[in-house]
A and B are shown apart, each in its own frame.
Chain A
Amino acid sequence: ETGVTQTPRHLVMGMTNKKSLKCEQHLGHNAMYWYKQSAKKPLELMFVYSLEERVENNSVPSRFSPECPNSSHLFLHLHTLQPEDSALYLCASSQAWTGLANVLTFGAGSRLTVL
Protein backbone atom coordinates (compact mmCIF):
# COMPACT_ATOMS: atom_id res chain seq x y z
CA GLU A 1 0.00 0.00 0.00
CA THR A 2 1.06 3.55 -0.61
CA GLY A 3 0.19 6.89 0.91
CA VAL A 4 -1.80 7.33 4.09
CA THR A 5 -4.37 4.70 5.01
CA GLN A 6 -7.11 5.23 7.59
CA THR A 7 -9.41 2.64 9.16
CA PRO A 8 -12.27 2.38 9.70
CA ARG A 9 -13.69 4.61 6.99
CA HIS A 10 -17.00 4.88 8.83
CA LEU A 11 -17.76 4.46 12.51
CA VAL A 12 -20.97 4.82 14.48
CA MET A 13 -20.68 4.74 18.25
CA GLY A 14 -22.70 5.49 21.33
CA MET A 15 -21.60 8.02 23.90
CA THR A 16 -20.42 5.34 26.31
CA ASN A 17 -18.42 3.33 23.80
CA LYS A 18 -14.64 3.12 23.45
CA LYS A 19 -13.27 2.90 19.94
CA SER A 20 -10.07 3.72 18.10
CA LEU A 21 -9.20 5.19 14.73
CA LYS A 22 -6.07 3.95 13.01
CA CYS A 23 -3.74 5.65 10.57
CA GLU A 24 -0.77 4.19 8.73
CA GLN A 25 1.62 5.98 6.39
CA HIS A 26 3.94 4.33 3.88
CA LEU A 27 5.79 7.46 2.79
CA GLY A 28 8.75 7.44 5.13
CA HIS A 29 7.52 10.66 6.75
CA ASN A 30 8.42 11.44 10.33
CA ALA A 31 5.53 13.66 11.38
CA MET A 32 1.88 12.65 11.70
CA TYR A 33 -1.25 14.63 12.44
CA TRP A 34 -4.89 14.30 13.39
CA TYR A 35 -7.30 16.86 11.94
CA LYS A 36 -11.02 17.26 12.53
CA GLN A 37 -13.33 18.44 9.77
CA SER A 38 -16.78 19.52 10.92
CA ALA A 39 -19.46 20.81 8.61
CA LYS A 40 -18.91 24.43 7.54
CA LYS A 41 -15.74 24.77 9.61
CA PRO A 42 -12.07 24.93 8.66
CA LEU A 43 -9.92 21.90 9.14
CA GLU A 44 -8.91 21.92 12.80
CA LEU A 45 -5.56 20.56 13.89
CA MET A 46 -5.93 18.26 16.90
CA PHE A 47 -2.58 16.60 17.47
CA VAL A 48 0.90 16.58 15.97
CA TYR A 49 3.56 13.95 16.44
CA SER A 50 7.09 14.55 15.22
CA LEU A 51 9.59 11.72 15.48
CA GLU A 52 7.00 9.85 17.56
CA GLU A 53 6.79 12.56 20.20
CA ARG A 54 3.73 14.72 20.65
CA VAL A 55 4.65 18.29 19.84
CA GLU A 56 1.26 19.92 19.82
CA ASN A 57 -2.16 19.43 21.34
CA ASN A 58 -4.55 22.15 20.31
CA SER A 59 -6.60 22.10 23.51
CA VAL A 60 -8.41 18.95 22.53
CA PRO A 61 -10.72 17.41 25.17
CA SER A 62 -9.29 14.43 27.03
CA ARG A 63 -11.96 12.15 25.58
CA PHE A 64 -9.66 12.09 22.54
CA SER A 65 -6.38 10.31 23.25
CA PRO A 66 -3.69 9.96 20.57
CA GLU A 67 -1.04 7.30 20.41
CA CYS A 68 1.98 7.13 18.11
CA PRO A 69 3.84 3.84 18.65
CA ASN A 70 6.22 4.43 15.73
CA SER A 71 6.72 6.83 12.85
CA SER A 72 4.38 4.89 10.57
CA HIS A 73 1.37 4.46 12.83
CA LEU A 74 -0.96 6.82 14.60
CA PHE A 75 -4.07 6.07 16.62
CA LEU A 76 -6.87 8.18 18.00
CA HIS A 77 -8.58 6.54 20.97
CA LEU A 78 -12.15 7.68 21.55
CA HIS A 79 -13.98 7.47 24.88
CA THR A 80 -17.31 8.89 26.08
CA LEU A 81 -17.71 11.14 23.07
CA GLN A 82 -20.49 13.66 22.55
CA PRO A 83 -22.79 13.99 19.53
CA GLU A 84 -20.99 17.22 18.59
CA ASP A 85 -17.83 15.16 18.10
CA SER A 86 -19.41 13.68 14.97
CA ALA A 87 -17.12 14.73 12.13
CA LEU A 88 -14.62 13.55 9.55
CA TYR A 89 -11.30 12.78 11.22
CA LEU A 90 -8.36 13.11 8.89
CA CYS A 91 -4.89 11.76 9.42
CA ALA A 92 -1.95 13.32 7.61
CA SER A 93 1.80 12.97 7.44
CA SER A 94 4.72 15.10 6.33
CA GLN A 95 8.45 15.48 6.54
CA ALA A 96 8.88 17.53 9.69
CA TRP A 97 10.70 20.84 9.56
CA THR A 98 11.47 20.80 5.85
CA GLY A 99 10.81 24.47 5.25
CA LEU A 100 9.17 25.07 1.91
CA ALA A 101 8.33 21.42 1.46
CA ASN A 102 5.78 21.48 4.23
CA VAL A 103 2.95 19.83 2.42
CA LEU A 104 0.74 17.29 4.05
CA THR A 105 -0.37 13.99 2.62
CA PHE A 106 -3.83 13.19 3.90
CA GLY A 107 -5.66 9.95 4.35
CA ALA A 108 -9.24 9.54 3.13
CA GLY A 109 -10.60 10.11 6.61
CA SER A 110 -12.76 8.28 9.13
CA ARG A 111 -16.36 9.48 9.23
CA LEU A 112 -17.47 9.31 12.86
CA THR A 113 -21.08 9.51 14.01
CA VAL A 114 -21.79 9.69 17.74
CA LEU A 115 -25.33 8.80 18.74
Chain B
Amino acid sequence: DQQVKQNSPSLSVQEGRISILNCDYTNSMFDYFLWYKKYPAEGPTFLISISSIKDKNEDGRFTVFLNKSAKHLSLHIVPSQPGDSAVYFCAAILNSYSGGGADGLTFGKGTHLIIQP
Protein backbone atom coordinates (compact mmCIF):
# COMPACT_ATOMS: atom_id res chain seq x y z
CA ASP B 1 0.00 0.00 0.00
CA GLN B 2 1.43 3.34 -1.03
CA GLN B 3 2.18 5.64 1.88
CA VAL B 4 3.00 8.64 -0.31
CA LYS B 5 0.61 9.34 -3.16
CA GLN B 6 0.84 11.69 -6.07
CA ASN B 7 -2.48 11.17 -7.77
CA SER B 8 -1.81 13.29 -10.84
CA PRO B 9 0.61 11.55 -13.21
CA SER B 10 0.86 14.73 -15.27
CA LEU B 11 -0.01 18.40 -15.13
CA SER B 12 0.04 20.99 -17.89
CA VAL B 13 0.37 24.68 -16.99
CA GLN B 14 0.80 27.79 -19.09
CA GLU B 15 4.05 29.69 -18.73
CA GLY B 16 3.75 32.50 -16.18
CA ARG B 17 0.88 30.87 -14.31
CA ILE B 18 1.00 29.04 -11.00
CA SER B 19 1.78 25.33 -10.92
CA ILE B 20 0.40 23.37 -7.98
CA LEU B 21 1.60 19.84 -7.42
CA ASN B 22 -0.13 17.78 -4.77
CA CYS B 23 0.97 14.97 -2.51
CA ASP B 24 -0.95 12.96 0.09
CA TYR B 25 0.45 10.66 2.73
CA THR B 26 -1.08 8.08 4.99
CA ASN B 27 1.46 7.63 7.80
CA SER B 28 1.09 10.29 10.50
CA MET B 29 4.58 9.44 11.76
CA PHE B 30 6.16 11.12 8.74
CA ASP B 31 7.73 14.31 10.05
CA TYR B 32 9.89 15.63 7.24
CA PHE B 33 8.91 16.09 3.62
CA LEU B 34 10.91 16.78 0.49
CA TRP B 35 10.36 17.52 -3.16
CA TYR B 36 12.76 16.30 -5.82
CA LYS B 37 12.83 17.36 -9.45
CA LYS B 38 13.96 15.09 -12.27
CA TYR B 39 14.82 15.94 -15.85
CA PRO B 40 15.03 13.19 -18.48
CA ALA B 41 18.37 11.37 -18.47
CA GLU B 42 19.32 12.92 -15.12
CA GLY B 43 18.94 11.83 -11.53
CA PRO B 44 16.45 13.51 -9.20
CA THR B 45 17.72 16.68 -7.54
CA PHE B 46 16.59 18.05 -4.21
CA LEU B 47 14.32 21.06 -4.57
CA ILE B 48 12.75 22.05 -1.25
CA SER B 49 11.80 20.50 2.07
CA ILE B 50 9.57 21.16 5.05
CA SER B 51 9.53 19.96 8.62
CA SER B 52 6.29 18.90 10.27
CA ILE B 53 6.66 21.72 12.79
CA LYS B 54 6.04 24.20 9.97
CA ASP B 55 3.17 24.68 7.59
CA LYS B 56 5.01 26.64 4.92
CA ASN B 57 8.49 26.92 3.49
CA GLU B 58 9.46 29.26 0.69
CA ASP B 59 12.49 29.37 -1.57
CA GLY B 60 12.28 31.83 -4.42
CA ARG B 61 9.56 30.77 -6.82
CA PHE B 62 8.96 27.54 -4.90
CA THR B 63 6.73 27.23 -1.85
CA VAL B 64 5.74 24.05 -0.07
CA PHE B 65 2.64 23.97 2.10
CA LEU B 66 1.95 21.28 4.68
CA ASN B 67 -1.48 20.47 6.08
CA LYS B 68 -0.86 17.89 8.79
CA SER B 69 -4.49 17.36 9.67
CA ALA B 70 -5.28 16.51 6.05
CA LYS B 71 -1.97 14.66 5.58
CA HIS B 72 -1.45 16.73 2.47
CA LEU B 73 1.34 18.81 1.06
CA SER B 74 1.60 20.85 -2.07
CA LEU B 75 4.33 22.50 -4.08
CA HIS B 76 3.55 25.86 -5.64
CA ILE B 77 5.69 27.26 -8.44
CA VAL B 78 5.08 30.92 -9.27
CA PRO B 79 5.55 32.01 -11.98
CA SER B 80 6.02 28.78 -13.94
CA GLN B 81 8.86 28.78 -16.44
CA PRO B 82 9.70 26.42 -19.33
CA GLY B 83 12.69 25.09 -17.39
CA ASP B 84 10.31 23.85 -14.70
CA SER B 85 9.09 21.12 -17.06
CA ALA B 86 10.20 17.94 -15.28
CA VAL B 87 8.97 15.09 -13.11
CA TYR B 88 8.45 16.12 -9.49
CA PHE B 89 8.68 13.52 -6.72
CA CYS B 90 7.26 13.99 -3.27
CA ALA B 91 9.07 12.13 -0.47
CA ALA B 92 8.61 11.71 3.25
CA ILE B 93 10.82 10.62 6.15
CA LEU B 94 9.82 8.82 9.32
CA ASN B 95 11.14 10.04 12.64
CA SER B 96 13.77 12.36 11.21
CA TYR B 97 14.39 13.97 14.61
CA SER B 98 15.35 10.69 16.22
CA GLY B 99 18.02 10.10 13.63
CA GLY B 100 15.94 8.61 10.86
CA GLY B 101 18.29 8.47 7.95
CA ALA B 102 17.66 8.91 4.26
CA ASP B 103 17.04 5.16 4.13
CA GLY B 104 13.68 6.05 5.63
CA LEU B 105 12.65 8.09 2.59
CA THR B 106 9.40 7.02 0.97
CA PHE B 107 8.72 8.38 -2.51
CA GLY B 108 5.58 9.01 -4.49
CA LYS B 109 5.26 7.98 -8.15
CA GLY B 110 5.94 11.48 -9.41
CA THR B 111 4.02 14.09 -11.38
CA HIS B 112 5.16 15.14 -14.83
CA LEU B 113 4.83 18.92 -15.05
CA ILE B 114 4.65 20.39 -18.54
CA ILE B 115 4.96 24.14 -18.91
CA GLN B 116 3.40 25.35 -22.13
CA PRO B 117 4.64 28.54 -23.80
A92 contacts across to B, CB distance below 8 A: 43, 102
Q: Does B79 contact A (CB under 8 A)?
A: no
Q: Which stretch, A11-19, A36-44, A61-69, A74-82, touches the partner chain B?
A: A36-44
Total A residues in contact with B, Cβ cutoff 8 Å: 30
> Do B105 and A45 touch (CB < 8 A)?
yes
Tell me whether A103 and B34 are in contact (CB under 8 A): yes
Answer whether residue A71 sits at the interface, using C-beta atoms and an 8 A cutoff. no
Pairwise interchain contact B42-A108, C-beta atoms closer than 8 A? yes
Q: Are B99 and A104 in contact (CB under 8 A)?
A: no
A10 nearest CB neighbor, chain B only = B41
Query: Contacts A42-B2, A100-B51, A103-B49 known; A56 to B97 CB distance under 8 Å?
Result: no
For A90, the closest partner residue in chain B by CB is: B43
| A109 with B101: CB separation less than 8 A | no
A103, B102: Cβ atoms closer than 8 Å: yes
Kindly state whether residue B85 has any CB partner on chain A within 8 Å. no
Nearest CB in chain A to that of B6: its residue: A42
What chain B residues lie within 8 Å of A105 (beta carbons)? 46
Of chain A, the residue at the smallest CB distance from B109 is A42
* Given A33-B102, A55-B103, A94-B101, A100 contacting B109 (CB threshold 8 A): no
In the bound assembly, the distance between CA atoms of A99 and B2 in angstroms comes to 24
Query: What residues of chain A lie closer than 8 Å to B4, measured between beta carbons?
Result: 42
